[in-house]
Amino acid sequence: MASSSIDVLDPLYVSSSDIPGLNLISEQLIGTENYGIWSRAMQIGLRARNKLAFIDGSYQKPNQGSDKLLQWERCNAIVLSWIMNTVSKEIFGGIVYSSDAAMVWNDLRERFDKVNGSRIFALHREINCHVQGNSSISTYYSKLRQLWDEYASLVTLPICSCESSKKFIAFDQQHKLLQFLMGLNESFTHIRSHILMMDPLPTVSNAFAIMAQEESHRSLLSVPPQRLEPSAFFSTQNRRKVDIRCEHCNMLGHTKDTCFKLHGYPPGHKFYKGPWKNGNQRFDREGSDKGRVMGKANATVAGIDKAEQPNVTTNIGSFFSQEQYAAILKLLDKEQPNGEQSSLAVNMAGPLKWEDNGDW
């Protein structure tokens, strides 16, 4: 019988993805300790492939001469290969010679499905002793859900739409909520008390969502704000300074209005040439009038007549009055050792020390 002539809802229908080498589930059966999880996962996978009937006995092998026998044997071999692909090597050796998927399934159940009081007790104790510790809320809740699901697979719970079943399900949800809240760290005591005061109590899924949101909020608050280092301001200023270029000398760091090569070098600069003739001071070597300082700024303390001190004019007139300047000269005269007069040239026009690196 061709697969194309079979209805897609028939268990005998084989799609293009139903291949023998397929690993139907990621769980591998190793023995009694994980048979419950493996069995549950295999049943889900086979139901999705519409092949569950080949292991639960609901689709028996057709009689000899039936037009469906060949297709049944084909589907049975595919299901058998899926089972073999999900068991350990030790178990594989005991089922490789079997030819009926239902018989292999029942054999594995009889060997490893050992639901007893010891395993139920161990799961119940693990659920009640499970705490958050150093784990996140998500990791703690996921482990707890895994234990609950395994416990539910071992213990038969009533599933119906009657009123008693609804009450039992509500009780089971409340019990899981209390187990979840009891295992949380003490840092969540406040939010846990808030959840317990809700009426009605939320489901365990809603409580987990609240706790996860609180944990995320705390993690954001624990991150210190980023501080802007002072070097960032200096680097910004330096970048701005580097971006400035003089139109006269084509150097960086200053403009044409403050260019020494155009307006002259100030006293104290290593390129300063000193006073010029006629008592006039020039800052530049190129004859620019903008660098000339008029007056008697180059006069020495020894050569200034006391009667003329109030009339001294310098290029610092914008900072001191003539009276203040005369008083400064008197103080300088008094501080000379052994009554000697100072021979230092009076010049307040610029800094006393200047370093030049070819730029500002």
**Structure-block tokens of residue 206:** 């809603």
Rounded Cα distance between 255 and 249, Å, is 9
Average of per-residue pLDDT values in the chain: 76
34 is a domain residue: yes
Total domains present in the chain: 3
Global pTM value: 0.46
166-207: pLDDT as tens digits:
888 888 899 999 999 999 999 999 999 999 999 899 999 999
Residue stretches of the chain with pLDDT short of 50:
228, 232-234, 237, 276-314, 317, 339-360
- Domain, as residue range, for 33: 3-112
Q: Do 78 and 174 sit in the same domain of this protein?
A: no
Rounded Cα distance between 185 and 175, Å, is 19
131 is a domain residue: yes
272-314: pLDDT as tens digits:
666 543 334 444 444 444 334 333 434 343 344 444 444 444 4
Give the end of a domain, one of 52, 87, 112: 112
Q: Do 106 and 121 sit in the same domain of this protein?
A: no
Q: Do 9 and 37 sit in the same domain of this protein?
A: yes
250 is a domain residue: no
251 is a domain residue: no
Q: Do 108 and 148 sit in the same domain of this protein?
A: no
Query: Contact 348/315 with Cβ under 8 angstroms?
Result: yes
Whether the upstream peptide bond of residue 266 has omega within 30° of 0, thus cis, is no
Q: Do 8 and 104 sit in the same domain of this protein?
A: yes
323 is a domain residue: yes
Query: Contact 298/278 with Cβ under 8 angstroms?
Result: no
